[in-house]
Structure 1
Amino acid sequence: MKRFAAALLGATMLTLSPAQARDRWTEAQADAWYARQPWLVGANYTPASAINQFEMWQAETWDPKRIDYELNLAQGIGMNTMRVFLHDQLWTQDPEGFKRRIDEFLQIAARHKIKPLFVLFDSCWDPNPKLGPQHPPIPGVHNSGWVQGPGMAGLRDKSRYPAYKAYVQGVIAAFGRDDRVLGWDVWNEPDNGADQYPGQDGKEPLVRALLAQVFDWARDADPMQPITSGVWIGQDWTPGGKGSAMEKLQLGQSDVITFHDYSWPETFEGRIRQLLPYKRPILCTEYMARGNGSTFDGSLPIAKRYNVGMMNWGFVDGKTQTRLPWDSWQKPYVMAEPTIWFHEVFRADGSPYRTAETDLIRRLATSPRGVVPDTAAAMSPMPPRRRR
């Protein structure tokens, strides 16, 4: 609790001292931060007992025992980070309680030598988030309860924007000087249309304008950790390339470069090569969809050679049901399981889905930075060294 009190004192000082707001990190600052980290490997994390961000964090469904159990599994295979989603409504409902639960999560994670990357907003899945009890998983459907933040009503109602600023700056002020936190992913897939849900006309321009403000708000809070938002969909992420306005905003404002890729190893490596010219640390914050060609053995060795941090989607099979593929939204897997699991590393009982995968993660995580053991080598050329 002493660490939490210090964090709250830091929050007060940050509120009183806006002149301390920092610029985007220089390449040298970003490299210096990355040099202090181990090779980052982890997962996008929601406990098996939660269907979404609300069930993970609300007081009524907060499950620290399950979180401790699952993060122990992560530590056991060498994982040292987790990407974890927050939500603005949790802050608006109960900021002090939310901060206490974040602090408890950080205590648990620190015991297992794991530093989370926190996600503040999200454009994926249900655009109508509502606090309180969440519906049960839809049988046979991938991620059937995940919610956007702030959601469409919140995007369209600009009178709510001061509350979003209070959320961003309140959370970062409380934990932006906390060495248990890896960084701040301010918006997940901001230009994701979540097209399976109707009624989202005009979403992208609203998100893009708000994201620009969110970067400013986060930077005004002056965290010691990096600020980022990951590109995920376009074909050209190179500096000066033909990327979208959203991608240029994300890449131009991020302290460290983050991206998503659920493709075959050749495409994954091509993405990394597009991002190397930014001369900043690179983290892949979503990958691994077995049925889509993205696998641990295909992507992880390539990333290790390039010194790219890696966070796969899914960890322990549970209420998100992301062992099921994306196409389950069109054809629910009610009568039979998919031939192979799409995401997830462990079964609900803690046994690995594939022991060869957990062994591979452990071997790569425990080998020196940049070194790929012969038993984990992938069929890819040695990359050029990124300037540090």
Structure 2
Amino acid sequence: MYKKLFLVCSVAAIFGCGQSQKQETKETQNEDTPVTATVWDAAKAGEWYAKQDWLVGANYITSSAINQLEMWQAETFDTAAIDRELSLAAGIGMNTMRVFLHDLLHQQDPQGFFQRMEQFLEIADKHHIRIMFVLFDSVWDPNPVAGKQRAPKPHVHNSGWVQNPGIKALQDSTQYPRLEKYVTETVKKFASDKRVVCWDVWNEPDNLNQSAYGAVELKNKADFVLPLISKVFAWARSAAPEQPLTSGLWAGDWSEEATLKPIEKVMITESDVISFHSYDDSTEIEKRIIQLERYGKPLICTEYMARPRKSTFESIMPILKKHKVGAYNWGFIEGKSQTNYPWDSWSKRYTAEPPLWFHDIFRKNGTPYLQKEVDFIKNIVKQ
């Protein structure tokens, strides 16, 4: 097992006595009082993490799906691709995947959605892969619509990925009960499932998508997300999951408490384990890790690896392993998401695959993009 001695620091010392009182709630309740789930302290988080193998995996969507809806909807749920592709992941030593869900899937067909999640987990478990599910996501197309999805724009990175909740739902508090139902029922359904390793409640919640959908995006998104993300943590926690909750820091200055944005403070305060994104080089990611180690909780990098930015497996994985940080790279297999193309494909025209792939490890046919990379991943996982 992958062990670590954690610095157990008082959450009260980090965030003030109010948070400490929040964590003591469960202890002070008598048997007749309903149990209120609380944020894990550093000791509980460290105990959980010490039982895990080094978490190594990727952000995963089937090669046959352009977005979360197409991956999960009944008409396009591709179990053959899932089985084949997770076999590739297991073959290079990966033991986990980060997988995005969508609130419209629950609204559309909750029982069918849960049945397909169960099928997915069965296949993943066959390959000894555990799943981190992502409940909400503020990146890419702000106007999701259930049903048949559009075809990819040729040579454009993530041309069809969709946000959830969409911009209209985000601004409409009358839809919050529906979102609450999605969160609580989904988490409760798999709250004690050992095949689920973690719940990522919201991906990049205040991302404005300026390089892609900036002209139609909500400029004051953080004003809507900030109060809602606190609710989402509470909704998920009310389902009493045995797995930790998290939401990953992704931009900004994390060097001290004073430089954190209000939404980042909520993300850290409410996370049982601390997660983050970094597509920068080894020097920058190590600096980020050291900054976040002050919280005394396990760290998981839920997004990294963009080859042209000097974020590669060879440069980043040794840093993550050195600091006992979980490692989920972005992109697994070439497909309809087209994340082998770079972010600038939204503004720069490409007519063929880029000279150096941005993300992804395997080609559509299952052969490695770079054999030396998969050899490196296998070796570092075994060490």
Q: TM-score, normalised by structure 2?
A: 0.90
- The structure 1 segments of at least 4 consecutive aligned residues displaced by more than 4 Å after TM superposition are none
The answer to whether structure 1 residue 339 and structure 2 residue 336 are counterparts is no
Instruction: Map 1:128-277 to 2 at 5 A.
Output: 128-195=143-210, 196-197=212-213, 198-238=216-256, 240-277=257-294
Q: Could you say if the C-alpha distance between residues 49 and 205 of structure 1 is closer, same or farther in structure 2, counting changes exceeding 3 Å?
A: same
The answer to whether structure 1 residue 349 and structure 2 residue 378 are counterparts is no
| Structure 1 residue 337, shift from structure 2 partner | 2.3
CA distance in 2, matches of 1:96, 1:283: 31
CA distance in 1, matches of 2:305, 2:140: 19
The answer to whether structure 1 residue 366 and structure 2 residue 382 are counterparts is yes
> Contact 2:141/2:162 (CA < 8 Å) preserved in 1?
yes
Partner SS, residue 164 of structure 1: helix
> Contact 1:64/1:105 (CA < 8 Å) preserved in 2?
yes
CA distance in 1, matches of 2:170, 2:222: 10
| Structure 1 residue 26, shift from structure 2 partner | 1.2
CA distance in 2, matches of 1:265, 1:202: 33
CA distance in 2, matches of 1:131, 1:146: 12
* CA deviation map 1:248-288 (0-9, x unaligned): 11011100000000001100100100011110000000000
Choose 39-48 or 196-205, whichever is displaced more. Answer: 196-205
Look up the equivalent residue of 1:103 and give its one-letter code. Answer: E
| Structure 1 residue 246, shift from structure 2 partner | 1.0
Gapped regions of structure 2 (runs ≥ 5): 1-31
> Contact 2:208/2:217 (CA < 8 Å) preserved in 1?
no
| Equivalence for 1:291 | 308
> Contact 2:169/2:175 (CA < 8 Å) preserved in 1?
yes
> Contact 1:172/1:221 (CA < 8 Å) preserved in 2?
yes
Look up the equivalent residue of 1:296 and give its one-letter code. Answer: F
| Structure 1 residue 151, shift from structure 2 partner | 1.1
| Equivalence for 2:335 | 318
| Equivalence for 1:111 | 126
> Contact 2:304/2:330 (CA < 8 Å) preserved in 1?
yes
> Contact 1:139/1:332 (CA < 8 Å) preserved in 2?
no
> Contact 2:246/2:271 (CA < 8 Å) preserved in 1?
yes
Partner SS, residue 182 of structure 1: strand
Partner SS, residue 138 of structure 1: coil
| Structure 1 residue 20, shift from structure 2 partner | 3.3
Question: How many residues get paired?
Answer: 349
Gapped regions of structure 1 (runs ≥ 5): 1-16, 368-388
| Structure 1 residue 303, shift from structure 2 partner | 0.6
CA distance in 2, matches of 1:43, 1:199: 28
Identity score, percent: 52
Partner SS, residue 343 of structure 1: coil
| Structure 1 residue 333, shift from structure 2 partner | 1.1
CA distance in 2, matches of 1:18, 1:193: 42
| Structure 1 residue 292, shift from structure 2 partner | 1.4
| Equivalence for 2:48 | 33
> Contact 1:21/1:221 (CA < 8 Å) preserved in 2?
no
Match of 1:72 among 70, 75, 87: 87
CA distance in 1, matches of 2:89, 2:349: 29
Look up the equivalent residue of 2:185 and give its one-letter code. Answer: G
Look up the equivalent residue of 2:273 and give its one-letter code. Answer: V
CA distance in 2, matches of 1:106, 1:364: 26
| Structure 1 residue 332, shift from structure 2 partner | 2.8
Q: Could you say if the C-alpha distance between residues 247 and 210 of structure 1 is closer, same or farther in structure 2, counting changes exceeding 3 Å?
A: same
* CA deviation map 1:312-352 (0-9, x unaligned): 00001000000000000001312x32110000000011011
| Structure 1 residue 231, shift from structure 2 partner | 0.2
| Structure 1 residue 21, shift from structure 2 partner | 3.3
| Structure 1 residue 19, shift from structure 2 partner | 2.5
Q: TM-score, normalised by structure 1?
A: 0.88
Look up the equivalent residue of 2:357 and give its one-letter code. Answer: W
| Structure 1 residue 237, shift from structure 2 partner | 4.6
CA distance in 2, matches of 1:359, 1:161: 46
* CA deviation map 1:68-110 (0-9, x unaligned): 0000000000000000000001001110000000000000000
* CA deviation map 1:169-224 (0-9, x unaligned): 00000001111100100000001001222141321110111101001111111100
Q: Could you say if the C-alpha distance between residues 18 and 282 of structure 1 is closer, same or farther in structure 2, counting changes exceeding 3 Å?
A: farther
> Contact 2:96/2:129 (CA < 8 Å) preserved in 1?
yes
CA distance in 2, matches of 1:233, 1:182: 25
CA distance in 1, matches of 2:313, 2:254: 24
Look up the equivalent residue of 2:126 and give its one-letter code. Answer: R
